[in-house]
Structure 1
Amino acid sequence: MGLLSEGSPLSWEETKKYADHVRKHGIIQFINLYKKLKDRSNGCLRWGDEVEYMLVKLNRSKKEARLLLNAEQVLAELQRREKERHGDLVTLWRPEYAAYMVEGTPGKPYGHLMAHFNRVEANMRARREEVKKLLADDEYPLSLTAFPRLGCPPFTQPELHPNPEEGASRSLFFPDGAIFQGHPRFRTLTRNIRNRRGEKVAINLPAFKDVNTPWPQLEDLGDLGDDGENPPGRQALPGHVYMDCMGFGMGCSCLQMTFQACSVQEARFLYDQLTPLCPIIMALSAASPVHRGFLCDTDCRWDVIAMSVDDRTREERGLEPLKENRRVISKSRYDSIDSYLSEGSECYNDIELVIDQEIYDQLKHEGIDDLLAKHIAHLFIRDPISLFSEKIHQDDEKDTDHFENIQSTNWQTMRFKPPPPNSTIGWRVEFRPTEVQLTDFENAAFVVFIVLMTRVILTFKLSLLIPISKVDENMRTAVKKDAVKQGKFYFRKDVTTEDSPPVECCACAKKSDCQEEYTLLTVAEIINGKAGEFPGLIPLIKSFLESVDDCDVDTSCTISQYLSLISKRASGELKTTARWVREFVTKHPEYKKDSIVTDAMNFDLMSACQRITDGEISCPDLLPAHSTKSAGGIPLAKEKQEHLLANKFQKKQNGV
């Protein structure tokens, strides 16, 4: 979820008039903010997670699974309860794109206590229970990355029908009523992305070709209505599942993590070091092999979202000569990052970075260093696509809405986040590629794994950097079917630096040029290690855990079970959610080997997901037997140790 300004939304034509105004003042706001806060330091690395839930109704008498369009009412009650607690919050709730989605976070950030790792799953359970109490007995908050029959009527409750001739999306499949109605941002983004592009967005996902799949034409779209294209759905590609609006991407759910660093330098370092992990974690968490009722030849949502918000014109996509637009832009505004930010990373920025030269020159003139100036000037090649009339004229010394307008609509694998004005919050980074999992145990495992990696990176002063071009190649590999088992990923061979303590099993002690620093590894080799060549991320985490002295037995046991899940998913001993879903579909008695997921099959699949989520059935090929003692809270005496432990951790990072 991005910036949620209140007010009267402007059309694209109105917004376009103010695009340069927003960019101009957004940069001034960033410069003012940076100068005020560049020296801000915080005592410890704080962190939190965001889980997006889909509200699903399972009508067992009719054997129908539908998306429940009452998120606005559920959210209103959740937020009313927030206000009543007067700051003593266990959970926080915010709107998301779709009328069937809500986003939940912990009530306050976690900190440096090892015991905080033992609170994540309990808090996720509390969130799910809060929502569940507001639903009927046959309604469930499921953490699904993608609803398999999104866009296949009837897929909503109440039943709505798309209107391709008018409205925000003009979709052949997705009704505007399935967009969250409680805030105009979401409809405005949908409409303005389509209008700026000059045509509807086109999502074409490679279909899975089974023995009876109609090939290459999966379906006839001609009788679905007039969507302004001639013929309707003209952008659909043979052999692909076609989708045509923002809802198919932003209507997916994900799991995100945000880390508050101790300084701007540490935030930039973490931003860089976590970037090569993005495609690895995406492949490892893969959970979405079905879109619009078809099995796809991909396992992840990433490309769907990237295409769903691609507002580039034909000129900007390089399909026509530049006349009305300034530049060709290589990616959607939702994609992997294009440059590293930390000192010493320059040689790994090996792809051409398209920037706004005037903005870059202005930033440099104001004393912003080259890497950060290029990063911001690259973000600001984009236009604002959601602007409110009341927010046009701002006080650049106090406000940052124009900066956030551009910043928050660059949806990338990592996000570098300056502190909000008038707050004590520090410099942060957001980790964004993870697909959400069915159970709180799995989601907690991924969160804890990534947070532990940040601690390992900072404590051991590791370097995971590889050329940005290789990260892009890894992203293309990560979305493919069963990439966790079949794919190979570029990864750094020697992750130690001159400042690192000795680490066993690292292959290459000598530094060389960038091309010799990385190799191709499987996810299993990256996560678990490869004898004599790469130590493995989990062994590195275990080395870190051996060095800490504040880990109680329950927390240690819980972390061990989380790492076991990650390890077994990487090795293939446990299936990814995507592999489990794919096999559920292909083994279903109604499946006709035609790549189609029917309404009845979808009901059985969603019912199985619900029962796994709620612990009603076990699924040993997806989940290991586990018995975590995740605590809902930590005794006050331990809470008071946090400042001391934070200082101790900081000293360890600094080599004291």
Structure 2
Amino acid sequence: MGLLSQGSPLNWEETKKHADHVRKHGILQFLNIYNKVKDRQKDVLKWGDEVEYMLVEMDAKNEKVRLVLNGKDVLETLQEKGEKINPNHPTLWRPEYGSYMIEGTPGQPYGGTMSEFNTVEDNMGKRRREAASVLNMNETLLTVTSFPSTLTRNIRHRRGEKVAINVPIFKDKNTPSPFVEAFPEDDGEAARAALPDHIYMDAMGFGMGNCCLQVTFQACSISEARYLYDQLATFCPIVMALSAASPFYRGYVSDIDCRWGVISASVDDRTREERGLEPLKNNKFRIHKSRYDSIDSYLSCCGEKYNDIDLTIDEDINKQLLDAGIDKLLAQHIAHLFIRDPLSLFQEKIHLDDENESDHFENLQSTNWQTMRFKPPPPNSDIGWRVEFRPMEVQLTDFENSAYVVFIVLLTRVILSYKLDFLIPLSKVDENMKVAQKRNAVQEGMFYFRKDVFKGCNPVLDPPSTAQNGVESEANDGEEFTLMSIDTIINGKEGVFHGLIPMLNCYLENMEVDVDTRCTILNYLKLIKKRASGELMTMAKWMREFVAKHPQYKQDSVITDKINYDLLHKCDRIAKGVEKCPELIGDPVNRGK
């Protein structure tokens, strides 16, 4: 989620008065951190995952599922039983956006040895069992949407109107055409904002109330962190489509499979002026994206030539950073983040020690929710430069979540070991993001991807031959990228692209890995491979098929309470290992619990 502090929250009018103060001191805090740790080298690889959980009640008698709004109490209980009595407790629990949400992470970051991959699923299992042990009868951990909070209110007040989220409806056999919702208690705003053939939502909770899966890596230096940030940015749409898990919104079947655009619209606090709907008068900038969106600039020198997106920056902040010795690419990145206002401010956190605190910097850094996040070290800590990979949808089981996490971590090892280059123009990454959210994008979508990732590097792997299948001319036509399916990107296609799984397998063959760990990793890669090929379904596709086959479904795009109950009851059983689901997970061998 980002920065979640405790204290006395200010309303928007009060927060607005302090916006320039937060920006000014946020930049000073960033400069203090940068100057202290810019030359820091040789930090070891550490990494960790974040899994977001929802608390729900399964009402078997009435066949309904309800959100349980006691996340705060559950969180306090888990912390009291865990980290507060044992600093080395294997799990950590943190608040999330919704009052029915909690976030779990490993107690200590994982290290650089291959055997660490064999402990991820076990730790996720501990988290699930630990949280389940403090829930009431009929309560369990699952995934749905939420109610507004202080942050929500400030988004609406800054924007000057409700957020308007319109998600295309899935047109089934009996779906009305056009599909137009009635809003009985509407004052006219919903009727004006809702589009025909779309599911309409008007609160931040419909977006930020969705759960996701994230991974953070510590790099050995700032330059390695910037290189990883850029390279992983190109994978965000690919992995998002591969992890697609959210096809339903507000009780309707939608025509999208991923949450990203919904969250982007749900926290879009731009005014009409900033969105280009009215001339600039009260605002300084025309801002092209929501504060929750794909990245807008690469950070490494390799990426500079691919920065082809119009970047709005605060020129005064940019100059201040350049004058302080920050290079152009990093300066414009920070000056772009700081065109935003703080959304949330606490009375107790206005006047800070800029030498030793970073809350004002984090206030804006953490509320620019992008596909990747570049994370400077916290002040006076032994933590290094980090990057966070943010586009993945949370999966149903610990096995699946572990598979996606290990896949991404292994990918970073291969990128760094072989000095690979996956960069393409950032505008093409944005196009990929749009494709990735579409229904069944993993099978039907075509994505821009770099053809020769070894160019200019010293590869250990043999690059694929480009003279087969009649694609030699295409490979030598001056274009560094082409459209590929996810199957080609992940599994490879002779004469077109080597494939990420073959690269990872080659890397594993050159590493000393114990038999048990190797088996675990290969199981995870097999899941990724089969999801990409279509042999296994994504969670989004599996959920769609469940609803389509449900006896109460009338092919009208409506999910009734009974359908919802049966779906989430089955999800719960699969997640707990009570029921198998080979069409979603396959049949992994030697799985640890």
TM-score between both structures, scaled by the size of structure 1:
0.87
- Match of 2:47, SS state, is strand
Q: 1:538 aligns with which of 490, 494, 501?
A: 501
For residues 392-442 of structure 1, give each alpha carbon's deviation from its aligned partner in whole angstroms, at most 9, with x where no partner exists.
Answer: 122211121111110000000000000001210000000000000000000
- Alignment partners' CA distance in 1, 2:166 and 2:520: 41
What one-letter code is carried by the residue in structure 2 that aligns with 1:570?
Answer: A
Residue identity matched to 1:561:
N
**Residue 300 in 1 paired to residue 258 in 2?**
yes
Q: Which residue of 2 aligns with 1:134?
A: 134
Contact 2:452-2:480 at 8 Å conserved across structures: yes
Query: Partners in 1 of 2:84 and 2:260 — Cα distance?
Result: 38
RMSD value over aligned CA atoms? 1.7
**Hey, what's the Cα distance between the residues in 1 that align with 2:262 and 2:578?**
32
Shift in Å, 1:84: 4.1
1:573 aligns to 2:531 (yes or no): no
The answer (yes or no) to whether the contact 2:465–2:494 under 8 Å persists in 1 is: no
**Structure 1 unaligned regions, length at least 5:** 151-173, 180-186, 632-656
Q: Does 2:62 correspond to 1:62?
A: yes
Summarize the Cα distance change of 1:194–1:465 in structure 2 as closer, same or farther, 3 Å threshold: same
Query: Would the aligned equivalents of 2:43 and 2:218 in 1 still touch at CA under 8 Å?
Result: no
State the distance in 2 between where 1:514 and 1:283 align. Answer: 29
**Worse-superposed segment, 295-304 or 513-522:** 513-522
Task: Identify the residue that residue 237 of structure 2 maps to in structure 1.
Answer: 279
Matching of residue 487 in structure 1 with residue 445 in structure 2: yes
Alignment match, 2:515: 553
User: Could you tell me how far apart the structure 1 residues matched to 2:186 and 2:168 are?
Assistant: 24
Task: Pick closer, same or farther for the CA change 1:513–1:309 going to 2, 3 Å.
Answer: farther
User: Does residue 499 of structure 1 match 2:457?
Assistant: yes
Q: Does 1:469 align with 2:432?
A: no
Cα deviation, 1:202-241, whole Å, max 9, x if unaligned, reads 11001101121122233211x1244xxx344421111100
How far has the Cα of 1:483 moved from its partner?
A: 0.1
Give the count of matched residue pairs: 588
Partner of 2:345: 387
Name the CA shift for 1:513/1:98 in 2 (closer, same or farther; >3 Å): farther
Kindly indicate whether residue 487 of structure 2 is the aligned counterpart of residue 524 of structure 1. yes
- For 1:355 and 1:367, how far apart are their aligned partners in 2? 18
**How far did 1:22 drift?**
1.0
Distance, in Å, in 1 between the alignment partners of 2:400 and 2:119 is: 14
Tell me if the contact between 1:464 and 1:495 (Cα under 8 Å) persists in the aligned partners.
yes
- Structural mapping, 1:347-386, within 5 Å: 347-386=305-344
Contact 1:42–1:426, Cα closer than 8 Å, also in 2: no
Sort the Cα spacing of 1:466 and 1:232 in 2 relative to 1 into closer, same or farther, 3 A: closer
Q: Supply the distance in 1 between the matched residues of 2:497 and 2:337 (Cα, whole angstroms).
A: 35
Distance 1:628 1:261, change over 3 A: farther
Residue in 2 aligned with 1:288?
Answer: 246
Deviation for aligned residue 1:387: 1.0
Match of 2:4?
A: 4
Q: Does 1:609 pair with 2:571?
A: yes
Equivalent AA in structure 2 for residue 21 of structure 1? H
CA distance in 2, matches of 1:403, 1:290: 36
Q: 2:185 aligns with which of 224, 247, 254?
A: 224
1:120 and 2:120 are equivalent in the alignment? yes
The CA deviation at 1:44 is 1.5
Q: CA deviation at 1:13?
A: 1.1
Equivalent in the alignment of 1:423: 381
- Within a 5 Å distance, the mapping from 1:230-245 to structure 2 comes to 230-245=188-203
Shift of 1:32: 1.1
CA contact (8 A) 1:207 1:297 kept: yes
Deviation at residue 507 of structure 1 after TM alignment: 5.0
**Structure 2 residue matching 1:234: 3-state secondary structure:** helix
For residues 166-222 of structure 1, give each alpha carbon's deviation from its aligned partner in whole angstroms, at most 9, with x where no partner exists.
xxxxxxxx6xxx45xxxxxxx22111100000000011001101121122233211x
Task: Name stretches of at least 5 consecutive residues in structure 2 with no aligned partner.
Answer: none
Give distance in 1, aligned partners of 2:45 and 2:476.
Answer: 32
Deviation at residue 301 of structure 1 after TM alignment: 0.4
Residue 91 (structure 1) aligns with: 91
Match of 2:556 among 594, 602, 607: 594
Give me the TM-score of the superposition, normalised by structure 2: 0.96
After TM superposition, give the deviation of residue 344 of structure 1 in Å. 2.2
Cα distance, 1:64 vs. partner? 1.3
Deviation at 1:629, TM superposition (A): 4.5
Equivalence for 2:34: 34
- Residues 534, 512 of structure 1: CA spacing in aligned structure 2 closer, same or farther, 3 A cutoff? closer
Corresponding residue for 1:22?
A: 22
Deviates more, 1:606-615 or 1:407-416: 606-615
Secondary structure at 2:50's aligned position in 1? strand
Counterparts in 2 of 1:617-636, with a 5 A limit?
Answer: 617-630=579-592
Aligned mate of 2:162, from 162, 184, 200: 200
Stretch of structure 1 that moved more, 334-343 or 130-139: 130-139
% identical aligned pairs: 62
Separation in structure 1 between the aligned mates of residue 533 and residue 419 of structure 2, nearest angstrom: 27
1:257 and 1:430 in contact (8 A); partners too: yes
| One-letter amino acid of the structure 2 residue matched with residue 260 of structure 1 | Q
Secondary structure, aligned partner of 1:465? coil
Deviation at 1:346, TM superposition (A): 1.0
Letter in 2 for 1:36: K
Structure 1 partner of 2:53: 53
Using the alignment, how far apart are the partners of 2:276 and 2:380 within structure 1? 42
Distance, in Å, in 1 between the alignment partners of 2:516 and 2:591 is 6
Name the CA distance, whole Å, in 2 between partners of 1:514 and 1:324: 48
Could you tell me how far 1:19 is from its partner in structure 2?
1.0
The DSSP-based 3-state class of the residue aligned with 1:305 is helix
Deviation at 1:85, TM superposition (A): 3.4
Report the CA distance between 1:5 and its aligned residue: 3.0
Q: Which amino acid aligns with 1:527?
A: I
Aligned equivalents of 1:501 and 1:562: distance in 2?
A: 25
Q: 1:608 deviation in Å?
A: 0.9
Cα distance in 1 between the residues matched to 2:191 and 2:371: 30
The answer to whether the 8 Å contact 1:45/1:111 transfers is yes
Is residue 2:365 matched to residue 1:398?
no
Change (3 A) 1:47 1:535: same
State the partner residue of 2:272. Answer: 314
Q: For 1:576, give the aligned amino acid.
A: T
Q: Does 1:450 align with 2:408?
A: yes
SS in 1 for 2:192: coil
Q: Deviations over 1:150-172 (max 9, x none)?
A: 5xxxxxxxxxxxxxxxxxxxxxx
Give how far 1:83 is off: 3.8
Letter in 1 for 2:165: I
**Rounded Cα–Cα distance in structure 2 between residues aligned with 1:44 and 1:244:** 44
Bigger shift: residues 320-329 or 79-88: 79-88
Q: 2:421 corresponds to which letter in structure 1?
A: S
